[in-house]
Structures are given as C-alpha cells and as structure tokens.
Amino acid sequence: MFKKLLIANRGEITCRVIHSARKLGVKTVAIYSDADANALHVNMADEAVHVGPSPSRESYLQAKKIIDIAVATGADAIHPGYGFLSENADFARMCEDNDIEFVGPPASAIEAMGSKSAAKQIMEEAGVPLVPGYHGDDQAPDILKKHADDMGYPVLLKAAAGGGGKGMRQVWSESEFTSALNAAKREAMSSFGDDIMLVEKYLTQPRHVEIQVFCDKYGKGVYLFERDCSVQRRHQKVIEEAPAPGMSDDLRAQMGEAALKAANAIDYVGAGTVEFLLDSDGRFYFMEMNTRLQVEHPVTEMITGEDLVEWQLRVASGEPLPKRQEQLTLKGHAFEARVYAEDPNNDFLPATGTLHLLRPPVESDFVRVDTGVNQGDDVSVFYDPMIAKLIVWDENREKALARLSTALSEYHIEGVTTNIDFLYNLSTHASFKHAELTTNFIEKHEESLF
C-alpha cells in the first residue's frame, strides 16, 4: 500500500478520499487555492500545501505545480478525484514520469475514451452496441447533414470532446439542422477548444443506466451493477439510484458483460463507468465511458457494502481485485440527491454566499452526507456550487425513497439559496414514486415540480 497520497482536488471528494486513505493507514496531502485556505478538506488532511490563486486554472488545474508538490512532500500516489485533472491523460503521464502512481487508468485508456467519436469507433470494433449515428472523421457540414437526413429526425448533435452536457443540440427537422450545427460547434469550440461533432439518433424517452466496472492490473474485471441516472436537468444528473428500477437479472448481466467488454477493449485499470441509454424495449446502447470515480459512486457503495475508494487504492497499489464477480451481491436500494447552491426558480442560476446555518440530517446506517463544507464557509463563484451529496439506503425502493424525502425535509441551510425544496418535490412526486423514469422527467413534469 502507498505511504502518502496527494489528493489533486478539493471539496467533498477530497474529504471522501481522505476517509478511505486513513482507513488503510495512508497519510494524506491536500492542496488548496486562496479561496480554500480554511476549507474542510485542508483541515482533514495530514498535510496541506497552497497551490495557487482561487481560479481553477491557476490552482487545481496546475498539473506541473501539483506534481512538484507531490515530489516535495514525498507522496507516492495521486488521487485525482473527479473533474479537474481526473481525465487528463497528460497529467496521468506526468505522474508516471515522476514515479508517482496515478490512482486511475493508464494514460492510454483515458486518451482512448477522451473523444466520444474515437470511443465509439473502439466500441464498435469490440462489439458493444452503440447509439446509432455517425462518428466519422469527415466533418463537412453537408456530410453531417446527409447522415442526419438518412437517419431521420430527431437527431442529437454532440461534441466529440464534450462533457457536462455542453456542445449538444437536439435537431427536430431538416430545416433546423444547419443553425443547430453552427450553435453546437460554437459552444464546443469555446468550451473544449475542439468542434468535432457526432450525429446520433435522438432517442426520445430513454433511461440513462450506467455500469460501474473495476479492473485490476492483472487483466481481471468485475462490474458492481448499475445506477439509474435518468433524472437530469440539461443533461446533468440530479438524483441517482441503484439498482435501476425494473432491471431483470438477465439484462443486468448483459449490460454488465457489455461494460466489461468496453473496459477490456482499452486495457482498463481501476474504477470506470460505462454509460448506456436504455430504451423501453430493454435495448441498450453505449454512450461513453468515464475513466474516473463518478460523483454518484456512493449509491453503489450502499447497495454492495464495498468502499470504492478503498478498491481504487488497493488496485492502484498492485493488489488484485478485492472480490470476484460471484462474491459481489446487491442488497436493498439507494438514492443520491445532489444538494446545490442554486436557484431553481431562476433558471437554476448558481448562488453564492455564506452558509450561516448548515444543519444536515443526522447520519446513520440509512443516511449518509458527503460534503466538503462547514457552517460559516463561503460558497464562492470559483467552483462547482455543490454543497453536499445526500445518500440514503433502505431494504427496498419505497422505503429508501421515504428516507430521502424525510432527510431532505430535515436539511436546513440558511445564507445561500439551495435546490433542497426542488429535490423534495422530486422525491415526493407520484411519477417518481412509480419509477416512471426517463431522461426528460424534469421537463415533462415541470409544472408540478416547481
């Protein structure tokens, strides 16, 4: 096992990683920007080193500086968390070059999945079912349009370099195609510096179901079942759950095997997530693979009883997978709600301010709160405004959902506008209770949710 782990991140995920590192007897090094000098993650770590000014570009994205801090503090591994440098192949390579273990897949696997079009090509060859569409190199607008026309509308334009729902446009008819393409390309260029586009058949009422996979350095892989992340706003997840309601054992095994095929195709190591769209006929299609720990990993931990960060550290340090597929079992049901500083009544505009009162629900075997803030902290403009992840578990979906709404009603925050009431409305919505889940759930029920 490692002696000292640097966590190249901030907030709740850094606190989460420290927790598991401590359990394994690994010392931790935190980094912090100006705005985070007194942050919870800094206080929790054994050591903390200033990395730069508040903007991420000058601090948490400073790959070279972070490597220098790891070397100076004698860290033998770096955990990148999610976001920031977690899917940056150059950063993974810099770790390798400095004899520091990157807690994640090899740089080559990150690269392979870094472009949605290249990823689809690899998956096609590996025999993983894909969302029908065009992911070729010829980017001439009339070629893209011809593929859309042939496929039939609606289609979805997607930036190959995309993430976080950016650079995507639905196109409902031929006449809208050109203006949608231009808009998507502009957004992709300004967000990712790359405007290569994919054209996909737009599935109108799918579910987003993703498989958690884990691979060790010896070519062995397992899947830790699925998460349903259909409840989204602007293609961003709002509430996630595991297992996916109505999933048969047969479909679970099929999707799990397909996800492992995807991971094997790129010689994957560590925690990864293969995202699929699932249609109402039980057909599933590969969308993309995220080569890191996901925000929503706790719901998987709750139903499997496994600590995924512990798994990551064990596998990165060269241990074989802690369990074989047949030793993994699924128990009960879990939800995660993302508590954000944002205003649902004002187009979900991020909110800033001081958390004058921060009173989360009491934690227990049924309720878990993953957070990176204390009462009195500021929610600043510099970073993602997530305040906490509220995770609940119980023996079945109905009971777990009741836990979720109760916990939300017990969550009190003053000083910053939050989405807690909106999450409560979601968790008590009749259609949500009946698990009528599709990716347009929020749009469809807009009137009864606000």
Q: Which residues bind ligand ADP (CB under 6 A)?
A: 131, 156, 162-165, 200-203, 206, 208, 232, 235, 275, 277, 287-288, 439
First-to-final CA distance of the chain: 49
**Do 423 and 342 contact (CB within 8 A), yes or no?**
no
**Do 250 and 244 contact (CB within 8 A), yes or no?**
no
List the one residue out of 151, 186, 191 whose CA is nearest residue 169: 186
Whether the bond into 154 is cis, omega within 30 of 0? yes
Smaller CB distance to ligand ADP: residue 284 or 311?
284
For the chain, what's the residue count? Answer: 450
Give catalytic status of residue 207 as yes or no.
Answer: no
Smaller CB distance to ligand ADP: residue 288 or 377?
288
Q: Tokens 């065009």 belong to which residue?
A: 134
Whether the bond into 243 is cis, omega within 30 of 0? yes
Least Å from the CB of residue 410 to ligand ADP: 30
Residues 6+ apart with CB under 8 A from 166: 159, 187, 188, 191, 192
Amino acid at 11: G
Please tell me which residue in 10, 16, 292, 338 is annotated as part of the active site. 292
Residues 6+ apart with CB under 8 A from 58: 33, 52
**Do 412 and 359 contact (CB within 8 A), yes or no?**
yes
**Do 211 and 307 contact (CB within 8 A), yes or no?**
no
List the one residue out of 122, 121, 113, 429 whose CA is nearest residue 265: 122
Least Å from the CB of residue 115 to ligand ADP: 11
Q: In whole angstroms, what separates CA 152 from the centre of its chain?
A: 31
Amino acid at 357: L
**Do 247 and 180 contact (CB within 8 A), yes or no?**
no
Q: Give the SS3 label for residue 90.
A: helix
Q: Which residues of 125-162 are buried (b: 16+ CB within 10 A; e: fewer)?
A: eeebebbebbbeeeeeeeebbebbeebebbbbbbbbbb
Least Å from the CB of residue 189 to ligand ADP: 15
Residues 6+ apart with CB under 8 A from 389: 12, 295, 296, 298, 336, 337, 338, 339, 369, 370, 371
Q: How far apart are CA 272 and CA 291, in angstroms?
A: 5
Residue closest to ligand ADP, measured at CB: 439
Q: Is the torsion defined by CA of 245, 401, 16, 382 positive or negative?
A: positive
Give residue 388's region: left, alpha or beta (phi > 0; psi -120 to 50).
beta
Q: Active-site residue numbers?
A: 292
